[in-house]
């Protein structure tokens, strides 16, 4: 029998607590409690039934017909239901929540929030989970360049490239120049654009919109900023790139390009102090 997986077992006998199951002619039996039976017609003595196997709080193997939200060997997006001194607990859709041991929380995870986790069987034979999903993500995706998706940040490369898990279990990265706001592990990002597919199948993503849409949006933000500041802003095409990233969530290249278009359309003028509405 495999813990954390669906097993086909034979119903050997009925008891006051439920039915006992065994694998072929194996003498070892496990219980499927009455509360774990969904389809009573499928659980009859001497016939086979498909069940999910896990361990209860006392370490005993238990069977259920209920469908778990994840199985051993999978990366799944799961909800945190409790944080404790020994770790965090995740909703598996079963009577027993699954533990993320403290050492397996590689970044801060909060109650009632969802994150990607890899599910495994620990040394004691119990199901457990980790936020370290990197080695287990898939590169097989139907997404194409130009498609959009949602993803969770789970780490960073040394060059600040963000590593992300695209829902539900696909590997992706966001280069530093493709995001402007500060990111951290656990962030959930929506409407990411696929901008590249690497040789290994990993997807390159961007938080940025298409160029025209991005410039139109940036122009609106600049105008709104200036209108709320008596028609002036201290920024111009010589401003510090990090200031522009923080205030307008954009690169200096895009900022200068947008200012150039706005000046051409006679909406603004610049001097050494900043930029003015016309």
Q: How far is CA 43 from the centre of its chain?
A: 37
What backbone phi and psi angles, to 5 degrees, belong to 87? 150, -165
CA distances for 153 relative to 66, 72, 116, 164, 204, angstroms: 31, 22, 9, 4, 13
The reported pTM is 0.77
CB count within 10 Å of CB 145 equals 11
Per DSSP bridges, beta strands 18-22 and 29-33 are antiparallel
| Whole-number pLDDT of residue 211 | 61
The lowest-confidence range among 121-130, 151-160, 233-242 is: 233-242
Q: What DSSP assignment string belongs to 66-104? A: SPPS--TT-EEEEEEEEE-SSEEEE--SSSSPEEEEGGG
**What's the pLDDT at 192?**
95
More confidently predicted of 90 and 241: 90
Which residues does 172 contact at the CB level (< 8 Å), separation at least 6?
Answer: 149, 151, 163, 164, 165, 166, 192, 202, 203, 204, 205
The pair of structure tokens assigned to 121 is 């069987």
Task: List, in order of start, the domains of the chain with CATH numbers.
Answer: 6-64 (2.40.50.140), 75-134 (2.40.50.140), 137-206 (2.40.50.140), 211-277 (1.10.10.10)
Query: At residue 213, does pLDDT exceed 70?
Result: no
Is residue 74 very low, low, confident or very high in pLDDT (cuts 50, 70, 90)?
very high
Q: Would the CA dihedral through 231, 234, 240, 242 be positive or negative? A: negative
* Predicted pLDDT of residue 249: 81
For residue range 8-50, list pLDDT tens digits in order: 999 999 999 999 999 876 678 999 999 999 999 999 999 999 9
d(CA 104, CA 5): 21
- In terms of Cα–Cα distance, which of 194, 176, 186 is closest to 245? 176
Q: How far is 242 from 251, CA to CA, in rounded Å?
A: 8
Please tell me the predicted confidence (pLDDT) of residue 24. Answer: 75
What pLDDT, on a 0 to 100 scale, did the predictor assign at position 248? 87
DSSP 8-state symbol, 161: P
Question: What's the rounded Cα separation, in Å, for the pair 262 and 26?
Answer: 78
Angstrom CA distances, 248 to 63, 147, 233, 241, stand at: 55, 25, 12, 10
Strand order in the sheet with 274-277: 232-233, 274-277, 268-271
Strand ranges in the chain using DSSP code E only, listed in sequence order = 6-14, 18-22, 29-33, 48-55, 61-64, 75-83, 87-90, 98-101, 114-121, 127-130, 148-156, 162-166, 170-174, 188-197, 203-206, 232-233, 268-271, 274-277
Q: CA–CA separation, 234 vs 253, rounded Å? A: 17
Across 124-147, average pLDDT: 95
The predicted-structure confidence for 98-133, as pLDDT tens digits, reads as follows: 999 999 999 999 999 999 999 999 999 999 999 999
| Model confidence band, residue 187 (pLDDT cutoffs 50, 70, 90) | very high
pLDDT value for 26: 67
């Amino acid at each position: 029998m495999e813990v954390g997986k669906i097993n086909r077992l034979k119903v050997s006998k009925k008891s006051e607590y439920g039915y006992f199951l065994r694998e072929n002619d194996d003498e070892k039996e496990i219980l499927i409690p009455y509360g774990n039976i969904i389809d009573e017609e499928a659980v009859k003595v001497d016939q086979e039934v498909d069940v999910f196997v896990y361990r209860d709080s006392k370490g005993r193997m238990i069977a259920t017909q209920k469908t778990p939200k994840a199985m051993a060997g999978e990366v799944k997006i799961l909800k945190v239901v409790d944080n404790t001194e020994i770790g965090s607990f995740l909703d598996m859709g079963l009577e027993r929540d699954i533990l993320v041991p403290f050492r397996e929380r590689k970044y801060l995870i909060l109650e009632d929030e969802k994150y990607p986790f890899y599910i495994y069987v620990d040394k004691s034979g119990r199901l457990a989970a980790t936020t370290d999903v990197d080695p287990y993500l898939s590169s097989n995706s139907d997404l194409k360049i130009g498609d959009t998706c949602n993803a969770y940040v789970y780490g960073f490369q040394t060059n600040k490239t963000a590593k992300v898990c695209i829902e539900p279990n696909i590997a992706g990265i966001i280069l530093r120049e493709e995001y402007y706001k500060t990111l951290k592990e656990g962030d959930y990002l929506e409407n990411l654009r696929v901008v590249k597919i690497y040789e290994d199948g990993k997807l390159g993503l961007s938080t940025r919109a298409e160029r025209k849409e991005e410039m139109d949006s940036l122009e609106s933000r600049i105008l709104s900023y200036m209108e709320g500041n008596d028609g002036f802003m201290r920024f111009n095409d010589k401003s510090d790139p990090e200031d522009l990233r923080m205030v307008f969530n954009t690169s200096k290249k895009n900022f200068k390009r947008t200012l150039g278009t706005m000046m051409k359309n006679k909406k603004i003028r610049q001097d050494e102090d900043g930029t003015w509405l016309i």
